[in-house]
């Protein structure tokens, strides 16, 4: 995401936290858009766990940098991480290696177990997270825990896990002998795993995490730990049970600001963030923003609706294009472009279908969303907001969602281009009115209230067997009179 000064437009820097409670769709929005700040960095694990709200960089903040690499850990520190989560496996020749998976296949492309590979071979490999982070993400070497502990000593609280669950004694001994103060470490393990007693005896705090398969044991197992972990799939009742134990509850994985806010309201104090710089911040108070597709890297806060590697859109850096694929209905949140501003604004984008099939293809843009939850048009989980949709069969329409069923505000017919041609879209919000221009056609809707741009989503509503491309997405706030 790029920021700058708007060209011919004079631009306001006012925030939009003062929207009236009854303003369309953004009622109550200001509470969501203010970052929940944590205390300064903790000196010890006890200090961290005692805070009302604290953040941990999950895998070194793997939405932003190649997970579990020294580069990721250092970048997380540079972006204010209070704590860092570190997973390790032991190599064939006894080295503890920072890596989440037992296998090297997902990140290194080698179908082999770390436990069956010597360090000399491991250090020649590179972690490749380009499928998730974008085509220009650097290929990063694997890191030994020994090197990481030396690099991170006295800089953050470290949550360390023996992923295999087989080397607790050796790992705890290594941590105790490292430059890292033992009081700045937390032993991380599955709630039903082993090692917590040894770690506690060595002076470490302990964190037991509960995945869905063992949610039922929260009350029986909680007493053996200093803090509890709950997976983000937990329902409110399960989280309530964990909070009721009186221990600090940490949730993983936190990717979005909306997750952060919801969890904090449930009493969760620890946010294990995969998207640390974004989750710990608020929308920007700048005049204009633009997509960063030409960087070849996914910007912090930009996420597909499904948090899986396979759902990640393709980024074509040389052409500044992002492609939503052809296999499913999808949306892509541009959290990096959320602005703190109200009044008049202008949103521009270019869209094309590289290939046109016989079926009707539908794509578009969602805007005016009060949170960064994915916009899933015409579904049960539909968030409030607006969207403009283009149909390859010749209709452009403007919709408002105030519940699970959006309703149409206006429509126009347009001459759809043949495959491969770009369509310019422009949306203007001014004086309580939305004006949409697309492919030479225009439609307008009188709302009676100004709606802030909020969060944006790119959408492929009906792929019809073909993907859709987006480029040159920009948002400008105009100055008030």
The separation between CA 78 and the C-alpha centre of its own chain, rounded to angstroms, equals 18
Query: Average pLDDT, whole number, for the chain?
Result: 89
pLDDT at 9 over 60: no
The arrangement of secondary structure in 285-477, i.e. its CATH architecture, is Sandwich (2.60)
The per-residue pLDDT for 108 is 98
Q: Average pLDDT, stretch 15-37?
A: 34
Query: Which tokens go with 202?
Result: 């060595």
From 31-45, 98-112, 350-364, 444-458, the region with the lowest mean pLDDT: 31-45
The per-residue pLDDT for 19 is 27
Per the model's pLDDT, the better-predicted residue between 358 and 64 turns out to be: 64
Q: What's the farthest any 2 CA atoms get from each other in the chain? A: 73
Which residues, listed in sequence order, are joined to residue 183 by a DSSP beta bridge? none
pLDDT at 56 over 90: yes
pLDDT at 5 over 90: no
Share above pLDDT 70 across residues of the chain, in percent, rounded to a whole number: 90
pLDDT at 294 over 90: yes
The per-residue pLDDT for 40 is 61
Q: How confident is the model at residue 479 (pLDDT cuts 50, 70, 90)?
A: low
pLDDT at 17 over 80: no
Number of Cβ atoms within 10 Å of the Cβ of 188: 30
The per-residue pLDDT for 42 is 61
The per-residue pLDDT for 480 is 53
Q: What is the CATH number of domain 36-279?
A: 3.20.20.190
pLDDT at 43 over 50: yes
pLDDT at 346 over 90: yes
In whole angstroms, how large is the CA radius of gyration of the chain?
A: 24
pLDDT at 356 over 70: yes
The per-residue pLDDT for 39 is 60
Evaluated on CA atoms 9, 475, 453, 464, the torsion sign reads positive
Q: Average pLDDT, stretch 146-168?
A: 97
pLDDT at 123 over 50: yes
Q: What gap in Å lies between CA 468 and CA 361, rounded to an integer?
A: 9
Q: What gap in Å lies between CA 429 and CA 2, rounded to an integer?
A: 22
The per-residue pLDDT for 417 is 79
The domains of the chain are located at 36-279, 285-477
Do 442 and 436 contact (CB within 8 A), yes or no? yes
Q: What gap in Å lies between CA 184 and CA 159, rounded to an integer?
A: 9
Do 477 and 12 contact (CB within 8 A), yes or no? yes
């Amino acid at each position: 995401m790029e920021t700058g000064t708007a060209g011919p437009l004079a631009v306001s820097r006012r925030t939009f936290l003062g929207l009236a409670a009854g303003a369309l769709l953004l009622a109550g929005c200001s509470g969501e858009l203010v970052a929940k700040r944590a205390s300064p960095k903790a000196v010890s694990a006890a200090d961290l766990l005692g805070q009302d709200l604290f953040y941990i960089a999950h895998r070194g903040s793997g939405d932003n940098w190649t997970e579990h690499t020294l580069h990721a850990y250092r970048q997380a520190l540079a972006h204010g991480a209070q704590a860092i989560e570190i997973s390790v496996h032991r190599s064939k020749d006894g080295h503890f290696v920072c890596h989440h998976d037992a296998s090297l296949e997902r990140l290194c492309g080698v179908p082999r177990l770390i436990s069956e590979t010597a360090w000399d071979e491991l250090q020649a490999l590179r972690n490749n997270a380009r499928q998730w982070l974008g085509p220009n993400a650097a290929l990063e070497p694997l890191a030994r825990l020994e090197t990481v502990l030396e690099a991170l000593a006295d800089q953050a609280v470290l949550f360390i896990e023996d992923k295999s669950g087989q080397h607790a004694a050796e790992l705890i001994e290594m941590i105790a002998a490292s430059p890292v103060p033992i009081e700045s470490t937390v032993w991380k393990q599955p709630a039903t795993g082993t090692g917590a007693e040894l770690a506690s005896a060595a002076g470490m705090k302990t964190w037991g995490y509960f995945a869905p398969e063992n949610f039922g044991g929260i009350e029986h197992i909680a007493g053996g730990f200093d803090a509890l972990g709950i997976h983000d799939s937990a329902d409110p009742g399960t989280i309530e049970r964990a909070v009721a134990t009186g221990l600090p509850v940490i949730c993983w994985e936190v990717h979005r600001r909306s997750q952060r806010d919801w969890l904090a309201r449930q009493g969760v104090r620890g946010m294990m963030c995969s998207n640390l710089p974004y989750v710990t911040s608020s929308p920007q108070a700048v005049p204009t923003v633009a997509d960063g597709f030409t960087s070849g890297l996914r910007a912090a806060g930009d996420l597909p609706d499904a948090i899986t590697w396979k759902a990640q859109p393709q980024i074509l850096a040389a052409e500044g294009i992002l492609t939503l694929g052809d296999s499913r209905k999808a949306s892509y949140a541009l959290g990096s472009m959320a602005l703190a501003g109200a009044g008049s604004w202008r949103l521009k984008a270019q869209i094309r279908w590289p290939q046109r099939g016989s079926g009707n293809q539908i794509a578009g843009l969602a805007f005016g969303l009060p949170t960064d939850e994915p916009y899933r048009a015409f579904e049960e989980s539909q968030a409030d907001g607006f969207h403009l949709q283009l149909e390859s069969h010749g209709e452009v329409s403007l919709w408002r969602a105030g519940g699970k069923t959006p309703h149409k505000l206006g429509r126009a017919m347009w001459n759809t281009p043949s495959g491969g041609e770009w369509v310019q879209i422009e949306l203007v919000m001014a004086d309580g009115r939305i004006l949409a221009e697309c492919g030479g056609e225009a439609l307008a809707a009188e709302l009676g209230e100004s709606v802030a741009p909020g969060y944006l989503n790119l959408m492929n509503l009906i792929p019809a067997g073909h993907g859709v491309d987006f480029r040159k997405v920009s948002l400008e706030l105009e100055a008030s009179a």
